[in-house]
Structure 1
């Protein structure tokens, strides 16, 4: 038995305990997040935003998490895991919500997928393939969108951020280069790769383009939520540029939800266009709308699912 198979088997033995642990940790994180704000602060900030823009922000958040379903849907189909769309949507929503809020994706979103897909009878190898494809989809969209946007760098960002080489367009060129190299690889490489006796085939051009489209839409919708909560004054594409840069910094830090990192960089870049207190108010609302509210829903959904599954197993 290979080391990978031994790892997967050992990991799956811990899944019942992992489900309880994930739920407990998630409740703790949620309480810690809410402790930062008072109800009066929250209601005061909500009242300063036009109702139409606030409703649109909530609607875009819903569309964002709905779009995330396609990550797991195309990955599971590619891996040969046949599940109902409702099951795929559940795994995607809970997995991504946990990873966004808890951080340390291997211990949160990855564990959730092993737990849910595992109890639905999906093999460890297929679950691993789904997870890898999800990562790939996420970053393909980032590199494609960042490559396009940063090569036509928004003026508000160029004034606020300085890097070596004198221009942030370098980031755009690097992102475009990475995306093009990968696309050429999947287009030209026909034979499967072999590593330690195992073979695997890269997704083709059509699948890669579908991955890119889903991920680009994810980034556009997520940035749209922040844009709707900001006061008027900066265009959408400028906000999108800030969002991409700040999210990359937050994700790289592995801090849960990029908490603090995302906010700090966003304030630094956008401070020429907005007052710091207005930005902080927007970022608080953004974290509540885009992170905490979906996290609360995911906690309930995951908890109910675990309870029903445990009850069903006991009656067998």
Structure 2
């Protein structure tokens, strides 16, 4: 018990230290930023670039929302795909901007519950979607790190060899999941109160493709806002590092974390102004605009929830008969 308490306190102290250090580091990095350059670059983005960025964001959210659609087929629930897709979009937008507790968890239970889905089915959808996201991350980040991306700053003690070792570990974990889905005779697994029924290997492969595709689209949006000299694998790998850092620190939308990691890793390739301008554009196109749309869709869902639930009940009754 004392051992568990020690590690719990150590983890809390570590997170607090990082939360204190992060804004200090970000302040030091941004203090040296030429803000006149940032505002000039933001004004000079061509309309075609912004339109392309918005199209990429739409594609990314479409892929992201398909995680719940895959989950719906995984559990065999009769709720129409369009309803699942709509709920998933709202939850994902709130999740990215606020926190997983608000978007990924609380809103899913509320919206799916109001559409007649049981708590157990909602939990299974949530679990399957989370696995899809992070399974794609394992495969993509593992491949990038093994390939030597990103080119880490010399000041980072991890080094390229350490990064490659992490990449190998991630790929092994990804391969283990796929092999388990293909060959494991025991399909139900659990830990404490968490339970998972392994999907078919084909569905697991779709999870990896969907998850990796979404991460790739997110990085493509940032890449499209950077100068033409940008390397897409470098941008993608940097996003992989910044995303896991944001999860560890429990920072909503990775606010400050993404900026700190990108400026630190890519400062030898771009000016601070170019990086900050691209990340501001990324936050507007990928976070703020979808959140505004999600708020409107959420209000519509709340207003029509009873009517939609009655339709779902009639479909379920017709199916049962």
Cα drift, residue 243 of structure 1: 1.1
> RMSD of aligned C-alpha atoms?
2.6
TM-score, length of structure 2 as denominator length: 0.78
Q: Secondary structure at the match of 2:151?
A: helix
In structure 1, which of residues 121, 138, 145 is the aligned counterpart of residue 133 of structure 2?
138
Of 200-209 and 304-313, deviating more is: 304-313
Q: 2:5 maps to what in 1?
A: none
Q: 2:312 maps to what in 1?
A: none
Whether contact under 8 Å (1:80, 1:126) holds in the other structure is no
In structure 2, which of residues 282, 288, 308 is the aligned counterpart of residue 286 of structure 1?
282
Q: Does 1:193 align with 2:188?
A: yes
Q: 2:54 maps to what in 1?
A: 58
Q: 2:297 maps to what in 1?
A: 301
Of 183-192 and 45-54, deviating more is: 45-54
Q: 1:225 maps to what in 2?
A: 221
Whether contact under 8 Å (2:246, 2:254) holds in the other structure is yes
Query: Measured at CA, do residues 173 and 229 of structure 1 come closer, stay the same or move farther in structure 2, by a change above 3 Å?
Result: same
Tell me, in whole angstroms, the C-alpha distance in 2 between the residues paired with 1:69 and 1:240: 21
Unaligned runs of 5+ in 1: 1-39
Q: 1:234 maps to what in 2?
A: 230
* Poorly superposed stretches of 4+, deviation over 6 Å: 40-43, 196-199, 310-313
Q: Does 1:171 align with 2:166?
A: yes
Tell me, in whole angstroms, the C-alpha distance in 2 between the residues paired with 1:77 and 1:222: 25
Q: 2:113 maps to what in 1?
A: 118
Cα drift, residue 156 of structure 1: 3.5
Q: Deviations over 1:242-268 (max 9, x none)?
A: 111111111222111010011111110
Tell me, in whole angstroms, the C-alpha distance in 1 between the residues paired with 2:185 and 2:306: 45
Query: Measured at CA, do residues 108 and 197 of structure 1 come closer, stay the same or move farther in structure 2, by a change above 3 Å?
Result: closer
Cα drift, residue 102 of structure 1: 0.5
Tell me, in whole angstroms, the C-alpha distance in 1 between the residues paired with 2:157 and 2:139: 22
Cα drift, residue 50 of structure 1: 3.2
In structure 1, which of residues 76, 79, 85 is the aligned counterpart of residue 81 of structure 2?
85
In structure 1, which of residues 43, 67, 72 is the aligned counterpart of residue 68 of structure 2?
72
Cα drift, residue 49 of structure 1: 2.2
Q: Does 1:157 align with 2:152?
A: yes
Write out aligned runs for 1:180-219 (5 A): 180-193=175-188, 201-219=197-215
In structure 1, which of residues 124, 129, 144 is the aligned counterpart of residue 124 of structure 2?
129
Unaligned runs of 5+ in 2: 1-35, 310-321
Tell me, in whole angstroms, the C-alpha distance in 1 between the residues paired with 2:218 and 2:268: 23
TM-score, length of structure 1 as denominator length: 0.79
Whether contact under 8 Å (2:38, 2:274) holds in the other structure is no
Whether contact under 8 Å (2:150, 2:237) holds in the other structure is no
Tell me, in whole angstroms, the C-alpha distance in 2 between the residues paired with 1:121 and 1:59: 33
